[in-house]
């Protein structure tokens, strides 16, 4: 079976304490809309200690055109993606020419040529490399990118895939958007990049086998998560009912998925769930009756990095792989939610 062989991550240069973000945003909104003041506790309740951004906070709170934001995105995403990829290549003693296929995942900026094309030049990847940019899957994008690589490798067992997910959520902050969704997003989202090496089963390399994947689409839920494309940039859509959807559907969806592989939750030893926020993590714990800190990695990564959209689940996966280099018994479950509204899940052998 195809396998996840290695992961490397990178964060941008500006590390910011959550309390500092709260203070800056509070000052920015002060005197504008008094009703938003009651929402400021979302910063302290977010379960986040630090986050990373590609631009300083004083840049973030200034008004910028879509053109300015996108120039910043293209420049920063290219460099941050390259940093993660080069780290992956060096740590695994590879050559850039080893990759047959590059997949680039994001939802926080636009670029044509896409970032993967820029990386082919910057990293000196092969000129005949296959490539697929994936845009618009939001927080589900990292898990979906793994699934795309898995399906490619099923048909190309000698192949090696470079999956890169890079999100610059801070660049989407709209300084004159005083909506609750914008404030909540400002309290949660962060920036970072992850590069993943996946390989077919004929490649002589270690890693975690991918057993199967599942995509689930929830009809009539387009308003749950996404963007409104406005003249100044990307305006966040972030519904309150996401934890309720988790509580309602997660147990059955995951049980059905595991049953197709003759497994159940008792066979899962590693829960690698995207932390959409504290309420989402708690909703998973309730829905799946997780009582022994099974989602500790989700809590830890959320605290240390915030929600990096599609990238977050790959940070969790990297942390898990680093902590389990000797291997362990059982199976791992990767899950993330995204616009659509949808979920992406993957079963791995750990």
- The model's pLDDT over 151-195, given as tens digits with 9 standing for 90+, comes to 999 999 999 999 999 999 988 887 777 777 777 888 889 999 999
So what's the pLDDT on residue 350? Answer: 86
Q: State mean pLDDT over 58-77.
A: 88
Say which residue, 26 or 247, is predicted with more confidence: 247
Query: Got the DSSP string for 56-121?
Result: -HHHHTS---HHHHHHHHHHHHHHHHHHHHHHHHHHTT--GGG-SEEEEEESS---SS-HHHHHHH
Query: Taking the CB of residue 105, how many other CB atoms lie within 10 A of it?
Result: 32
What is the helix (H) or strand (E) element at residue 303, kind and residue range? helix 296-305
Q: Please indicate whether the domains covering 3-199 and 208-349 agree at the CATH topology level.
A: yes
Is 70 exceeded by the pLDDT of residue 34? no
Q: Which residues contact 64 (CB under 8 A, 6 or more apart)?
A: 72, 175, 232, 233
The architecture CATH gives domain 208-349: 3-Layer(aba) Sandwich (3.40)
* Cβ-based neighbours of 78, under 8 Å, separated by 6 or more: 115, 118, 119, 122
β-strand pairing of 14-17 with 50-53: antiparallel
Active-site residue, 22 included: no
d(CA 305, CA 192): 8
Question: Is it the case that residue 301 has pLDDT exceeding 90?
Answer: yes
Please identify which of the residues 22, 76, 139, 342 carries the catalytic annotation: 139
Query: Does residue 139 or residue 197 have the better pLDDT?
Result: 197
What residues pair up with 342 in beta bridges, in sequence order?
217, 338
Mean confidence (pLDDT) of the chain: 89
Domain boundaries, given as residue ranges, for the chain: 3-199, 208-349
Cα separation values, 289 from 157, 275, 283, 284, 295, Å: 38, 17, 10, 8, 11
The CATH number given to 3-199 is 3.40.47.10
Is residue 294 within 8 A of residue 271, CB to CB? The reply is yes
**pLDDT of 121 higher than 90:** yes
Query: With bands split at pLDDT 50, 70 and 90, how would you rate the model's confidence at 219?
Result: confident
Determine phi and psi for 20, rounding to 5 degrees: -70, -40
State the pLDDT at residue 95: 95
Residue 142 near residue 311, CB atoms below 8 Å: yes
């Amino acid at each position: 079976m195809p396998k996840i062989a290695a992961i490397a991550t990178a964060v941008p240069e500006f590390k910011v304490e959550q309390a500092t973000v709260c203070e800056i945003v509070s000052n920015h909104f002060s005197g504008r809309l008094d009703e938003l003041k009651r929402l400021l506790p979302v910063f302290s309740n977010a379960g986040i200690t630090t986050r990373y951004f590609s631009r300083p906070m004083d840049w973030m709170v200034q008004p910028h055109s879509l053109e300015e934001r996108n120039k910043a995105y293209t420049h920063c995403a290219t460099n941050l993606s390259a940093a993660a990829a080069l780290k992956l290549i060096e740590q695994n003693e590879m050559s850039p020419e080893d990759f047959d296929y590059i997949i680039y995942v994001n939802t926080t900026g636009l670029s044509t040529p896409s970032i993967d094309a820029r990386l082919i030049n910057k990293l000196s990847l092969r000129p005949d490399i296959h490539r697929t940019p994936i845009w618009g899957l939001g927080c589900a994008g990292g898990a979906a990118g793994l699934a795309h690589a898995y399906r490619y490798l099923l048909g190309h067992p000698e192949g090696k895939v470079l999956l890169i997910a890079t999100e610059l959520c801070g660049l989407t902050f709209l300084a004159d958007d005083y909506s609750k969704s914008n404030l909540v997003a400002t309290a949660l989202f962060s920036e970072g990049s992850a590069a993943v090496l996946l390989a077919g089963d004929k490649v002589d390399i270690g890693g975690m086998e991918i057993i199967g994947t599942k995509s689930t689409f929830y009809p009539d839920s387009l308003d749950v998560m996404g963007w409104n494309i406005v003249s100044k940039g990307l305006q966040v859509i972030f519904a309150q009912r996401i934890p309720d959807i988790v509580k309602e559907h997660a147990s059955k969806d995951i049980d059905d998925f595991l049953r197709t592989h003759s497994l159940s939750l008792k066979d899962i030893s590693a829960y690698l769930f995207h932390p959409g926020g504290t309420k989402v993590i708690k909703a998973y714990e309730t829905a799946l009756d997780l009582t022994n800190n099974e989602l500790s990695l989700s809590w830890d990564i959320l605290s240390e990095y915030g929600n990096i959209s599609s990238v977050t689940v790959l940070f969790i996966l990297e942390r898990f792989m680093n902590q389990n280099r000797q291997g362990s018994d059982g199976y791992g479950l990767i899950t993330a939610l995204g616009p659509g509204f949808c979920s992406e899940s993957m079963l791995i052998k750990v």
